[in-house]
Amino acid sequence: MSPMRTHGSCVSVSVRSPPASSASRCSLSNSSASSDDATCGAPIWMGKGLTCVCFKRKGTYERIFFDLTPQQQEERLRRLKQRMRICFDGSKVEHQEGLRALWHATYPGQELISLVSDQWKDMGWQGRDPSTDFRGAGFISLENLLFFAKTFSTSFQQLLKKEGGNRATWEYPFAVGGVNITFMLMQMLDLDSLKPRTFVRPVFLQMLSENEWAFDLLYCVAFVVMDKQWLERNATYMEFNVSITSAYAASFFFFSFKDCMHHIRLSGFTVHVKLIC
């Protein structure tokens, strides 16, 4: 085993590369690193409740590389499929706790009045009750948002507050956008079909064998890509679905090379990719 250490809001994950012209090294500023001072360690699998539980720890984020047996790989895939099948249920205590955890990760120090409150609209939910917005994406879409908020807090806050680029008068709803991205990725990976219909699934399974949290990490990348597409198109609220489709295509493009390991940096609004092949 050999640990790979990354600092600030950087993490190592296997994805496919964008065009070579956009590949570059990531240079994190001191301000970015300090804002992520309380970094999130490796998520911990829990039998009940939140499957993505992060612990705060100052310092480096370590990921251990090791070879998995076919049985271990199958178990990882089984757990991911299980996560994808869980519908959001606002009556379940663990799902309520998940919403509270998302609120506190998004707005540290700000009190949440109620799980049904106008406060949720500030995060980009369509109404007072966020539980009505999960639809087909299920509980894993909440886990994805929470993973993003805790693991890449700087990028998460920048996207939430729409701090980068020339923003539209009517912006896409942040939280609902995140739910749509989860649904998009689930459709793209097509993990439940008997035979893979594209090359995407086999490549993702290789990613999953290298990092159990590959889906959550890919989600963070796709969210950044979607926002970038939104800015490049100078899109309006009515064009939100077009930006989601573009993010789908861009995420699909990540899988189109045979190279194995890249370092993804979510610093700001650009996905910086360092090719290691």
Per-residue pLDDT tens digits for 143-191: 999 999 999 898 899 999 988 767 766 678 899 999 989 998 898 888 8
Q: Is the pTM of this model over 0.85?
A: no
User: Out of 74-83, 84-93, 95-104, 228-237, which region has the weakest mean confidence (pLDDT)?
Assistant: 228-237
Tell me, what's the pLDDT at 261?
33
φ/ψ of 20, rounded to 5, equals -60, -30
Q: State the angle between helix axes of 200-210 and 70-85 in degrees (0 to 180), rounded to the nearest 10.
A: 110
Per the CB < 8 A criterion, the answer to whether 271 and 220 are in contact is: no
Residue 124, pLDDT > 90, answer yes
Measuring CA to CA, which residue among 123, 130, 125 is closest to residue 107? Answer: 123
Query: Which is more confidently placed, 67 or 52?
Result: 67
Round the CA-based radius of gyration of the chain to a whole number and report it: 18
Closest to 226 (Cα-Cα) out of 269, 168, 169, 267: 269
Residues 6+ away with beta carbon under 8 Å from 182: 137, 140, 141, 144, 219
**What is the rounded CA–CA span in Å between residue 185 and residue 148?**
15
**Count of domains observed in the chain:** 1
Side chain identity, residue 105 = A
Interhelix angle 153-160/214-232, nearest 10 degrees: 40
Report yes or no: 192 and 177 within 8 Å, Cβ to Cβ.
Answer: no
Look up residue 27 and give its two tokens. 């240079």
Q: What pLDDT shows up at residue 138?
A: 95
Using the predicted structure, report yes or no on whether residue 63 has a pLDDT greater than 70: no
pLDDT at 148: 94
| Domain span holding position 164 | 2-275
Give the pLDDT confidence score for residue 51 in this predicted structure: 32
The predicted pLDDT at position 71 comes to 81
